[in-house]
Each structure stands twice: as structure tokens, then as C-alpha cells.
Amino acid sequence: MAVIGIDLGTTNSLGAYWKDGAVCLIPMDEGFLLPSVVGYVEGEGYLVGAAAKERLIPCPEDTAASFKRFMGTAKEYRLGERVCTPMELSAMVLEQIKRNAEFFLKEEVEEAIITVPAYFNDKQRSDTKKAARIAGLKVDRLINEPSAAALAYRREYGEEDKTLLVFDFGGGTLDLSYVECFDNVIEIIAVAGDNHLGGDDIDQAVAEYFCRENGLLSEELTREEQAKLKKLSEEAKCALAEKDEAAMELETGGRVCRASLNEDRLFEICMPLFAKIRQLFIHILEDADSRVSGIDDLIMVGGSSKLGVVKRFLRELLGKEPIVLGETDRVVAFGAGVYAGIRQRREEIRDMLLTDVCPFTLGIGVNNRANRDKNILSPMIERNSTLPASHRDRFVTVCDYQKEIRIRIYQGEEYYVDDDVFLGELTIEVALKPAGQAWVDVRFTYDINGILHVMAENEMGERRQILLANQTLSEAELERYTREMEKIMLLPIQKPENQEMLACFLEYYENSTGQKREMIAAMTGRIMAGLSSGRKKAVRNAEETGRMWLAELRRSADMREEILFDGELKAGPGGEFDEFSEDTWDGFDKEFEEFDEE
């Protein structure tokens, strides 16, 4: 039984599998690409792929494309007799890939790893899984497209610790992801993007240029001519990969219109799009709390990344050469294939950890003093938090002797909760006290499967909890998730070994004076900040450095005892007796700097 990896794209989809230690792509109608297009032919039935794409222009009313954009919504496509949802259309694409794979592998395909954009929300992810189920595929785990690209990069460039920026420029969307790879972990730190910025927009800009050159108004063209011009524009754009100049020609209103396209012209045409891309870079670097120099490598992914002008723009923007891993539109599928390989050799699965981010802010509605009718969102888990994420906050009553507190849970970035997406609610009793004196602690825990667990605990120690998941869970599953959540809820700082470490620091602190005491306070503060940062790399750094510093303190304490017994106590740099040498102080100063840089 084979496991395959699938890049279910907006424009094109691909399938990959793992064989003898390497990834192989599954042949489709256009080389390795299966256009994500579904069509209906009267009397014949449904078509998927290149044959359906051919019919986009002559039969637009019986053809559906770019439906991935509407995944998770109730949008309907009428194809012949039937009304299809984006989920059903995606299922048809997946089924076609499954069929091609089985034909090619001469083996039944039962399971698939499917990639989705990092920003896909719960509904979009669960609809993708449902589509797979309709297509007869078992899907345990969806992986994010940038994580797949990072996997592909690591196979090519080795598994050194690196910070990557994945630039995925497809047919309809641009997705930027800031990804950190360390040890066996691939962590998405931040995502940014525009889901209306892609190859289609470049085609549109080229078409407008063609009209300008020929004094045409695009509204004057018939629908057919407009479609033809769009196709012509895409062909001219793609031709620049092979030649310097591409000629365009269109017959309209009894005359032949012409224009020619070259790299410089295209660069100019794309300027407004590049300005948008630049803004997205600013956005993601701010969200990741980084800068251009913090990126080790920029990886170009997606069909539109094949454009020489895009590479040129990125080179100028970042001042370094972007990495191209073979054909840019195959990278995500390649990574999915690597993951399918990991999956097949089950024992290795724990070796590779893909951590995801929460694409939206999750929070609860709280009273707004300025306007009592409009509650505002108090964020609990911020957008781009690494998953699994857990956060606790205390909320107080707003009325005197209020009996209970109702916790309403929302997802979104809007200030007023009315504009965010309502997810669910729970109610908990509180102590009868004047306003602001009774409280509840609320904890949000969000895991990599997109399941949100909210727990409230009042001052009497009573608990209420709710699990918010898109699919309805059975009692047994609910129980299992709750147990797993409890493990995640243990923050790094609460782990017994870290608590013990902090206790040691405090003991040294209590037993010291003066400058040494300050130094230990500074150390403890940094370790605590690192442990509660919520960022894996910082946590790991705090754990390692903490242990190192403790060892140093222990050593100096031992030394002190020796000195004491030898009766040779010397004056240290603090003017008092201290066994820390100047070098040790300088050493710590430098280590602090390094620590803060992390």
C-alpha cells in the first residue's frame, strides 16, 4: 500500500512518492502538472486537468478553476446538472491524482500527505481532509506548503540550522513564510501573503500593456477576445524563460494588433506588483521580529518564480542571490514526497518535527468601558504563535456581586468582537464579591491539529472547559485530546527540571551579595524570559545556557570554599571579596550579549 505526497494547488496540482531513498514525481497530463480545473461535458461527464483547462475559454459556464481560493466557503459552482462545492471539486482533482499514481505505481494508494497554505484556517483544513476522504484517501496530517519547501531545501542543502524565507509565487497567490530549521525541527515563525497576487495578475498587467500599446479599450473586446488576450499574455510571459523577446498578436475589430515583450518591459509592467511584494517583506520581517540580514537563504517556489524579472527584483531587494531548487513549481510536491517517505518509514517520523503557526489571533470578548454595547477582543493566542501554543490570563468581574462570567471565544484580527468569527462560549460561576474582585483564570491551548481547548478556573478551584474542533469528536477522542492538551499545557518554565534549575539560581542569589548577586539576578531574569518566550529556539537556548551558568556558579562556589579553607580570600572587582575574576565578569557580559541576540 503506497503513501503519496500531494501539492493541491490553486492552478496546478502534483503528486510525489518515495522510492529507494529518493522522491519521484508522478506523471500527469502536463508533464508533472495536473491543472486544478474541473469541467463538465454534456453526455460525457466530468473532466479533470488539461482537458478541462482547454475548455475554460470556449465553455466557461461548464468549467471551474481556482476553486482552492474558496475552500472552506459555501460557494457553489454549477457544472451541468450538478452544483459542486470547492471541496467536491478538490476531491475530483485528488481522485485524478490517486488514479494516475495507482496506474503509474501499479499499486493501490491508500494514504496521502497533502500540503495546504500556512494561513489556511480550521474550516479550510478540515474541508481539504474531507475532500481527501471523498477521493478515497486517508489523510492523517496536512503539512504546510512552506514546511514542505523547507524539507525539500534540507534534502538538497543538508540539515544545518538555517533561517529560510520561502517565497511561493503561484498562479493566484503569493505566500511568504519565515521558517527556522534547527536540529530536527522546522518551525514556521511568521507568514504573510496576498491571495490576490500571482501569475494571473502578471498576465492581466501584460494584457493591459498590450491594449495600451494598441490604443484598445479592454471593455471593447468581446469576452472571447478578452480570454484570448489573457492566454496570449501568459504565453508571452512564459516564453521569456527561453527567449529574449516574445511577440504578441491579436485580431480584433477587423485589424491585427501587435506588441512585443522583453525582460525590461516586463520588469516595468510588474513594478506595481513588486511594490506590493516589498510591503509584504516588511510585514513578515516585522512579524518575525527580524530583518533581511537575519535570513540565511531565500527559496523561490511556485510557477511565477520562474520569471527572470522576479529573481532580478528579489536580488535587488535583498542584496543576495535567491536559491532555486530545480523547477520552482515542483518544490512543494517534492517536499510532500520527502514527508511521504518519512511517513512510510514510521520509526523515523518522530525524528522530524514540523511545527506550525496559528494563522489567526484567538481570544475572548471583554467588556469595553468606552462603549458597553461593543465588546472588544482580548487576544489569548496571537497570530503567528508557534503551535502547540498555550496561554493563561486572569479576568475579573465587571458588576458587583456578579454570579457568573460568560466567556465568549473568537478568532480574528478585528478590534470589536462583532467583526471577528465567533467560535463558542462557556459560563463559569464566580465568588460573590464587588466588581473587579472576583476572578477566573482562562487558559487557551491550541494544538497542531487545529483543535482549541479553553479552560476556565474560578477562585474556588472549579473548572469548566470546552474543546473547539471543526469535526465532531467522539467521547473517546475528546478524552484523548483532553489528555494530550494537558501535556501541552505544561509550559517549558513549568517543567520540573526547569523549576529545579530556577530554584538553584534563587538559592545562589540568596547566598550572594553585591555585584555577584546582581549578576545572578540578571542571569535568572534572562533564563526565565527565555523559558517563557514561547519560542522553541529561545527556550532551548535558555535551558542550555542556564545549565552552563549554573555549572559556572557551582564551580566558583567550590573554589570559594577552597580559598576560604586556604585562608587566601582576595578582593574581587566589586571591591569586596569575590572569587570571580575580571575574565569571568567579561565572559558573562559577552554571554549576556549573545543570549540577548538569540
Residue ranges binding ligand ADP (CB under 6 A): 9-12, 170-172, 198-200, 234, 237-238, 241, 302-304, 306-307, 329
- Shortest Cβ distance from residue 322 to ligand ADP (Å)? 15
Cell of 40: 463538465
Closest to ligand ADP by CB, 304 or 445 = 304
DSSP type of residue 176: E
**Residue 412 pairs with which residues in a beta bridge?**
none
User: Residue 241 binds which entry of Mg ion, ligand ADP, none, with Cβ cut-offs from 5 to 8 Å by kind?
Assistant: ligand ADP
Burial (CB < 10 A; 0-12, 13-18, 19+), residue 461, is exposed
**Binding partner selected for residue 337 from Mg ion, ligand ADP, none, CB under the kind-specific 5 to 8 Å limit:** none
Contacts of 144 (CB under 8 A, 6+ apart): 115, 116, 117, 118, 177, 188, 354, 356
Coil, strand or helix: which one is 576? coil
- Shortest Cβ distance from residue 332 to Mg ion (Å)? 5
Minimum CB–partner distance for residue 152 and ligand ADP (Å): 14
- Smallest gap from residue 277 Cβ to Mg ion (A): 16
Give which of ligand ADP, Mg ion, none residue 234 binds (C-beta under 5 to 8 Å, depending on kind): ligand ADP
Which of 310, 17, 332, 317 shows the shortest CA–CA distance to 153? 332
Q: Coil, strand or helix: which one is 539?
A: helix
State the cell numbers at 221.
473586446
Q: Which is nearer to ligand ADP, 148 or 307 (CB)?
A: 307
Report what 144 binds from ligand ADP, Mg ion, none; CB cut-off 5-8 Å by kind.
none
**How far apart are the C-alpha atoms of 439 and 431, rounded to whole Å?**
8
9 vs 72, which CB is nearer to Mg ion?
A: 9
Please confirm whether the linkage preceding 388 is cis (ω < 30° from 0): yes
Cell of 223: 469576452
Q: Are 132 and 88 in contact (CB under 8 A)?
A: no
Cβ proximity to Mg ion: between 178 and 444 the closer is 178
Q: Which is nearer to ligand ADP, 208 or 459 (CB)?
A: 208
The sign of the CA dihedral 157, 357, 524, 592 is positive
Q: Toward Mg ion, which CB reaches closer, 127 or 543?
A: 127
Residue with smaller CB distance to ligand ADP, 241 or 564: 241
Q: For the CB of residue 397, give the shortest distance to Mg ion in the complex, in Å.
A: 49
Hey, what amino acid is at 428?
I
- Between residues 198 and 363, which has the closer beta carbon with respect to Mg ion? 198
Cα–Cα dist 440/352, whole Å = 38
Instruction: Out of 35, 86, 170, 412, point to the residue binding Mg ion (CB under 5 A).
Output: 170
CB of 219 to ligand ADP, least distance (A): 24
Least distance between Mg ion and beta carbon 333 (Å): 9
Cβ 12 to Mg ion, closest distance in Å?
A: 7
Q: Are 237 and 260 in contact (CB under 8 A)?
A: no
The three grid cell numbers given for residue 247, joined into one nine-digit string: 511577440
> Is 388 near Mg ion (CB under 5 A)?
no
Q: Should residue 117 be labelled a site residue for Mg ion when binding is judged by CB under 5 A?
A: no
Number of neighbouring beta carbons within 10 Å of residue 159 = 14
* Residues 477, 480, 483, 489, CA torsion sign: negative
Picked from ligand ADP, Mg ion, none, the partner binding residue 329 (CB below 5 to 8 A depending on kind) is ligand ADP
Distances (CA, A) of 31 to 12, 26, 329, 455: 11, 9, 12, 51
349 vs 22, 72, 332, 342, CA distance in Å? 17, 29, 19, 6
Count of residues making up the chain: 598
With CB under 5 to 8 Å by kind, the binding choice for 470 among ligand ADP, Mg ion, none is none
- 36/498 with CB nearer ligand ADP: 36
Half-sphere exposure of 291 (CA within 13 A, CB side): 3
Q: At which residue does the C-alpha cell 471593455 appear? A: 219
- Cell for 12? 496546478
Instruction: Identify what 11 binds: ligand ADP, Mg ion, none; CB under 5 to 8 Å per kind.
Output: ligand ADP
The H or E element that residue 593 is part of is helix 582-597
Judged by CB under 5 A, does residue 9 bind Mg ion? Answer: yes
- 192 or 409: CB nearest ligand ADP: 192
Stretch that binds Mg ion, among 68-76, 164-172, 446-454, 490-498 (CB under 5 A): 164-172
Please report how close the Cβ of residue 9 comes to ligand ADP at its closest, in angstroms.
2
Stretch of 169-177, 459-467, 472-480, 537-545 contacting Mg ion, by CB under 5 A: 169-177
How many angstroms separate the CA atoms of 337 and 7, rounded? Answer: 9
| 413 neighbors 362 (Cβ within 8 angstroms) | no
- The least CB distance from residue 31 to ligand ADP, in Å, is 11
Find the shortest distance in angstroms from Cβ 238 to ligand ADP. Answer: 4
Instruction: Select from ligand ADP, Mg ion, none the partner in contact with residue 96, using the beta carbon and a kind-dependent cut-off of 5 to 8 Å.
Output: none
Phi-psi region of 309 (alpha: psi -120 to 50; beta: other; left: phi over 0): alpha
Give whichever of 308 and 436 is closer to ligand ADP, judged by the CB atom: 308
Q: What minimum distance in Å lies between the beta carbon of 63 and ligand ADP?
A: 16
Considering the complex, state which of residue 9 and residue 365 has its C-beta at the smaller distance from Mg ion.
9
Positions that interact with Mg ion (CB under 5 A): 9, 170
